[in-house]
Amino acid sequence: MQIPKQLSRFSIAASLAVLLLVFSGFVVSFTLFAQTPPKPRNLNLLDSLMRTASECAAKQLHTPLFPQDTLSIAIAPHEGAWMLENALFAHLKKAKRYRSVDSATFRAKLTVRLTDCAIRYFACASAFDSLAREASCALAAHVETQDGVVQPLEPISLQLRDTIARQAVPSLESKQYVFASPAVPDAAPNIWKQIVEPAVVILAGVLIIALFFFVRTQ
């Protein structure tokens, strides 16, 4: 039995249309799959680093020379000093009673300085719509007794890195804190994302419409 020409052309056109639809669906699905899940906010990342750094500092104070129950804490001025203060007192609970620098009760004073507390963005060469994010925290501290004995603590430097979507930046930042809202670098050019992928989707749509009218005219 011979297949009519019109039916044969229709079958070919329909097959091509299905293939184009499947390919377009694959491109869209791949794009959606490549999107990253929700990321922690910038301040949350820095707070996590601050707590870890404070814990590391507290572990260096477990000596008879610097008992925590008579420790006064002094934090150098910094925009993120409030986070450091909360983190330190979470690990040095007994020190809360001796926060006054001029208190005659304490036998030692812990002075802490934030040498680094910032979020930084870097362009991703492999994805123009993404950014590499780096959260960093560094502390310098020393303990001084009333007798003038000064003991520096080991410097503490921590970092966290991940990748975020450019469009997610506004929801991750807190604009009132400059150290948590850095400048966003320009996107690196990406031929596939900016030209090829949109062109493929548009071409697929045009071909499907053209095939539809071609079949109707046969």
Domain with 84, as residue range(s), is 40-187
Question: Is the same domain home to 147 and 106?
Answer: yes
Same domain, 88 and 102: yes
Per-residue pLDDT tens digits of the chain, which is 218 residues long: 444 445 455 455 555 554 555 555 544 444 444 454 689 999 999 999 999 999 999 888 866 656 666 677 889 999 999 999 999 888 876 654 444 444 556 667 889 999 999 999 999 877 788 999 999 999 999 988 877 888 899 999 999 999 999 999 999 999 999 999 999 998 766 555 556 667 677 777 777 776 666 666 66
- How far does CA 36 lie from the centroid of its chain? 11
pTM summary value: 0.66
Report the distance separating Cα 112 and Cα 181, nearest Å.
24
Both 140 and 209 in one domain: the answer is no
Partner residues linked to 110 by β-bridges: 73, 143
Q: Considering just the CA atoms, what is the radius of gyration of the chain in Å?
A: 30
CA 12 from centroid of its chain's CA atoms: 49
Q: How far is CA 202 from CA 25, 34, 35, 125, 127, in A?
A: 13, 21, 21, 25, 21
What pLDDT is stored for residue 69 in this prediction? 62
What is the pLDDT, as a whole number, of residue 146? 77
- Same domain? 116 vs 201: no
Classify strands 130-145 and 156-165 as parallel, antiparallel or unpaired: antiparallel
Same domain, 181 and 197: no
Q: Are residues 149 and 198 in the same domain?
A: no
The pair phi, psi for residue 175, each rounded to 5°, is: -60, -20
Nearest to 187 by CA among 215, 171, 166, 209: 166
